[in-house]
Structure 1
Amino acid sequence: MAWRRPEARVRSGGALALLALALCAPAARGRALEWYSALVSTAYVDPQTNLTVRSVSESGRFGDSSPREGAQGLLGLPDGHPEGCDPDTRFHVPAPGGRAAAPWVALVARGGCIFKDKVLVAARRNASAVVVYNEERYGNLTAAMSHAGTGNIVVIMVSYPEGRGLRELVQKGIPVKMTIGIGTRHVQELISGQSVVFVAIAFITMMVISLAWLIFYYIQRFLYTGSQFRSQSHRKETKKVIGQLPVHTVKRGEKGIDVDAENCAVCIENFKAKDVVRILPCKHIFHRTCIDPWLLDHRTCPMCKLDVIKALGYWAEPEDTQETPAPGSTPGSVSAANSSVAAPDEGRSEGSSFTASATHESAPQCGAALKDDTGENTALLGEWPADYKTLSRYQSSKEN
């Protein structure tokens, strides 16, 4: 099983954080970083009392693309629709004594078209500023206005009640002078309360998922490390046990092994002089370099499936491996796997004799043969007939 590294958990946590920020970003992008309020001062003469009525309040709001500077002039209303969206719209500006009004400020209603179109229509009529009053449904509120591309004309928004009152005065033919000044700078809050809650929930969820992944990873890593340690320890013990099996160096002309006819069932190569062979408890022989790796992984004889470790008296638990037969072995054939050699301990010299026995039984019966031969003296190799055709007769004579 392939384990993911902790860096992958960190990357997945970072991806969740970026996702949370991306979801919050649309609300933030729609708002300006800062905006300025506008001081709105009006003055007109009440026709009933002939008194000048003045009003000053910080009730306006500069548009996003408007220059932050003052402007003044008499208020003028568009002819026809109050929104002033028609490019051919003309404006009516009441002036004292009927003389021409210059400069003048356009007073238009919100809606009907985009803010940019309203401002451009008034700018073409040489208005010094444009005052947009909000819709009735918003009450006393003002809103941000996006009108990029309108030049240096001053643009502000006032509330609906204030704009309606000024409109009624102008409709009555009363000249109203408006002066616009710069108000207070306001920093726009980019994160609302809902966004804070959403980010907090996303952060907590990300932390819980990351913590769960880390706990799962380190538990699995601990189990995997323990399994590897036990496996390595088991292989070391198995290697020591395999080292107790007798070995023998093959000599040409040696009785019991025909170097030109017999072969190793693992590598399917004939035994040659000076080859070092390993002798298993079931008396099958193999090249030491071939059988040792096999026994480390499988622990059993490739021919008869005898558990070599148990046969030597070590009752370790077998590994969970799939046993596969050695290549080239066929039932009933007479080969090096069917004729076995038992060598004396490694402490003896190479010239010393070693015991052997032969059998024509099938491979699964080797385990039973091992039990029958335990504790008995086997014949020396020198007593074996060189001709394998007399093996059966030789064995029968020994048993009798």
Structure 2
Amino acid sequence: MGKKTQHCLLLFLCLSGLVHYSAALVFWTSMVEITYVNSSNATVDKYCECGVYGRNSPLEQASGIATLPRGDPKGCGSDPVYNPNSSHLTWIALVKRGNCTFSEKINAAYRQGAAAVVVYNVDGSGNSTSHMAHSDATEIPAIMIGNSQGMEVVNLVKNGTVVELTITVGSPHGPWMDTYWLYFLSIAFFIVTAASISYFVFISASRLYSLNMHRRTERKLKSEATKAIRRLQVRKLKTGDEETKSDSDMCAVCLESYKAGELVTVLTCEHIFHKACIEPWLLERRTCPMCKCDILKALGVEEETKESLSAESPLEVTVITVTGGEPMYEVPLTDPASPDPERLQHRYDNRAFEGDSAAGRR
């Protein structure tokens, strides 16, 4: 399995876990309808999406007469807590938040026959609500509304007004509304971002290292190509030489015919080119333009270069004799500027190349 496939699989598993966890934190709002007859004998009907179903509440519709707990408005304590009006078949407990758990409030109302429970928030909280948890009370619908809406109904009921409450399921909302989920998303974002940055830094560093190694190898090979060029035979063409007799004999680099007095270089494959044309070519490509013969491999320099790069050590003073009949060239592999005393004992047979190098240095 490739790295990209593994990364995609890991990302899919993470996203699957996040989606599953997100679904568990989705909450539902509640539509709340308040209906009563005012002092002018007119029916007042108010409707708003101002409630929130509890985490463990069944998503069901409920309606009934608003009923307050006796004594303590928070609905805590032993039964009986409520005294519902027997003339009404269904009633909904309207209880204030605080003192005991949500589960205790809901169960107390459920045991006395409430159809649902509406919890209004504490004083000073305005119309804010929270996603209440009540894992021990899951039998009847339970919602929370703001303190302002709750106190409005409480005051009506205390004044003897019969208030009918109807709660219906509203719309779902995502986990981004949950504070803890927001913290989790922030931490996850920073972790993923840090991991991504680290990964790209690692990839960039690896590529930069590879690029530097490639450039180093190229410089080394170019240096070795320079040494290999010094071993090649250089001739000065004369009148009557085979190369000057026919216009069909021409340099494959510049496509010009050979003329008497020109310097030509003979490669190991016996192909001939203008010295000024072939040397820049060999420095960049290190192969014959016609037959692609590798001059480094032909002269045995390529193997020595690989050994020196792997061992990370300087080349030793070595004399190579190009065979194939009588020895033609004997040169050291060390840098010409090296102060090694053994280096001074050898000299180049390729005088023409030495002359060009010296002129370039000047």
- TM-score, length basis structure 2: 0.51
1:309 deviates by 4.4
Which runs of 5 or more residues in structure 1 are unaligned?
A: 1-5, 242-291, 301-306, 319-365, 372-400
C-alpha distance in 2 between matches for 1:115 and 1:78: 14
Instruction: Tell whether 2:80 aligns with 1:62.
Output: no
The alignment partner of 1:179 has SS state of strand
Out of 197, 204, 207, the residue aligned to residue 215 of structure 1 is 204
Out of 33, 54, 58, the residue aligned to residue 26 of structure 2 is 33
Structure-2 change in CA distance of 1:82 and 1:316 (3 Å): same
Out of 82, 96, 104, the residue aligned to residue 109 of structure 1 is 96
C-alpha distance in 1 between matches for 2:177 and 2:149: 30
Q: Does structure 1 retain, via aligned residues, the 8 Å contact 2:157–2:163? A: no
Q: How does 1:1-400 map to 2 (within 5 A)?
A: 32-44=25-37, 46=39, 51=41, 53-58=43-48, 59-93=50-84, 95=85, 101-172=88-159, 174=160, 176-188=162-174, 190=176, 209-228=198-217, 307-309=317-319, 313-314=331-332, 316-317=334-335
| Amino-acid identity (%) | 21
| Residue type at the aligned position of 2:47 | S
Query: Aligned-residue CA RMSD in angstroms?
Result: 5.2
Structure-2 change in CA distance of 1:135 and 1:29 (3 Å): farther
C-alpha distance in 2 between matches for 1:150 and 1:14: 40
C-alpha distance in 1 between matches for 2:192 and 2:122: 40
C-alpha distance in 1 between matches for 2:178 and 2:123: 25
1:82 deviates by 1.6
C-alpha distance in 2 between matches for 1:66 and 1:200: 32
Structure-2 change in CA distance of 1:154 and 1:201 (3 Å): closer
The alignment partner of 1:131 has SS state of strand
Q: Does structure 2 retain, via aligned residues, the 8 Å contact 1:36–1:61? A: yes
C-alpha distance in 1 between matches for 2:177 and 2:42: 45
Q: Does structure 2 retain, via aligned residues, the 8 Å contact 1:66–1:153? A: yes
For 1:317-357, what per-residue CA distance to the aligned partner results, in whole angstroms no more than 9, with x for missing partners?
49xxxxxxxxxxxxxxxxxxxxxxxxxxxxxxxxxxxxxxx
Q: Does structure 2 retain, via aligned residues, the 8 Å contact 1:40–1:60? A: no
| Residue type at the aligned position of 1:72 | S
1:122 deviates by 0.9
1:149 deviates by 4.1
C-alpha distance in 1 between matches for 2:209 and 2:79: 77
C-alpha distance in 2 between matches for 1:309 and 1:238: 12
Quick check: 184-193 or 125-134, which moved more? 184-193
C-alpha distance in 2 between matches for 1:211 and 1:67: 48
Equivalent residue, structure 2, for 1:251: none
Structure-2 change in CA distance of 1:191 and 1:184 (3 Å): closer
- TM-score, length basis structure 1: 0.47
1:298 deviates by 7.5
Q: Does structure 2 retain, via aligned residues, the 8 Å contact 1:31–1:190? A: no
Total equivalences in the alignment: 247
